[in-house]
Amino acid sequence: MLEILGVDTSDEARLRDWYDAWVASQSHRPPELLESWENARVALPRPHPHFDLRLVVARDGAVTMGAGLLNLPFRANPTVGYAELGTRPEHRRRGVGTALLHEIERQAREAARDRVLFEICTPPGETTDGVPFAEARGYSLANREETKAVDLDESEPRWAALEGQAEAARGDYRVQVWRDAVPDEYLELFVGLLGRFMSMVPQGDLDLEDGEWTVDGFLEGERRRAEIGGAIITAVAVAPDGTLAGASDIRLVTHDPRVAHVGITMVLPEHRGHRLGLATKLASHRALRAAFPECRLVDTSNADVNAPMNAINEALGYRVLEDLLEYHRRI
């Protein structure tokens, strides 16, 4: 009999069972984009100050057939539930995905969310069973992004020429780089910059709002990052008047630093035209290379209509690994 059960993340055996089912359900995806078990076992049991993360599995007796999660943010977009779900290939077309989705929607409604959003990852230009699954259950495509990655060994020979281009256009702006803790003199400015990020990126019909960041809330998140062994390298563009014009960061975990992830790259509209996106992204990649030479790959995702960011990624040598389709439904 099929049951949907919650997962106690403090029980490592149960967590591993969830993880194995999740990875199996993602067999169509590039393996380098999947979270490693070492990362998951450290991060998932630790509560996050900014959201409530719930894990569920679909089980028939002793057989775990699928896995899902629900992310309920506290600060930004608190009426949305972010979901993921997947079924092991050998158990598909038996109602497992539908049962997982029903439970995720039930918990989202119980948490006073009026919309559920989840992502479907497909090979570039192709489709998967997830698309008809979502559409048959009333979900509509809200946004389309591309997930890309760059091999740092292949990218690094391009950097000197690109840095010359950025330097020629930068004018009186300068680039400042740090690892982990934000310097005190930039803390409030940086938190204010983050608060404008969501409105800076193309998001189709997602209609997501900027987060209400505070310094205390930001520092809470940074403390958790340190507790789970996370590292973040940030490059900011400092305007002539000392304010922050833009930023780009890269994140990884120090116990498994082979693959890193771009968190944000943004330039405020009033400061565009100085190649600051390229300058900060280059600076973060160079600092990553120096701090973690064992890191071989960096991935990122952005809307396929975001021409300026696509141009920067192409110049750095990023290649598309998969399409990321964002579906949502009012519940």
Strand arrangement of the beta sheet that strand 244-253 belongs to? 2-6, 51-60, 63-73, 80-87, 115-122, 319-330, 140-151, 297-303, 259-267, 244-253, 230-238, 174-179
The DSSP bridge pattern shows strands 259-267 and 297-303 to be parallel
Q: How far is 284 from 288, CA to CA, in rounded Å?
A: 6
Judge contact between 88 and 66, C-beta under 8 A. yes
Q: pLDDT value at position 265?
A: 95
- Does domain 149-211+221-321 correspond to CATH entry 3.40.50.300? no
* CA 23 from centroid of its chain's CA atoms: 17
Q: What share of the chain is helix, strand, coil (3-state, %, to 5)?
A: 35, 35, 30
Q: pLDDT value at position 196?
A: 85
CA angle 55–56–57, rounded 5-degree value:
135
Angle (deg, nearest 10), helices 215-227 and 187-194: 90
Pick the CATH number of 2-113 from 3.40.640.10, 3.40.50.80, 3.40.630.30, 3.40.50.880: 3.40.630.30
Q: Could you check whether 2-113 and 149-211+221-321 share the same CATH topology?
A: yes
Q: pLDDT value at position 205?
A: 87
Summarize pLDDT for 29-47 with one digit per residue, the tens: 999 999 999 999 999 999 9
Quickly count: other Cβ atoms within 10 Å of residue 105's Cβ: 18
Q: pLDDT value at position 273?
A: 96
Summarize pLDDT for 46-79 with one digit per residue, the tens: 999 999 999 999 999 999 999 999 999 998 899 9
Run means of pLDDT, 10 residues per run, the chain, 331 residues: 97 98 96 93 94 97 97 92 97 96 98 96 94 97 96 98 97 97 96 84 80 88 94 98 98 94 95 97 98 97 91 97 97 94
Looking at the chain, how many residues does it have?
331
Give the chain's end-to-end CA distance (angstroms, integer): 27
Q: pLDDT value at position 136?
A: 97
pTM as predicted: 0.93
Q: pLDDT value at position 6?
A: 98
Q: pLDDT value at position 307?
A: 92
Q: How far is 4 from 57, CA to CA, in rounded Å?
A: 6
**Paired tokens of 40:** 């998951």
SS3 category, 73? strand
Locate the domains of the chain by residue range: 2-113, 149-211+221-321
**Paired tokens of 306:** 């975001």
**Paired tokens of 115:** 């919309």
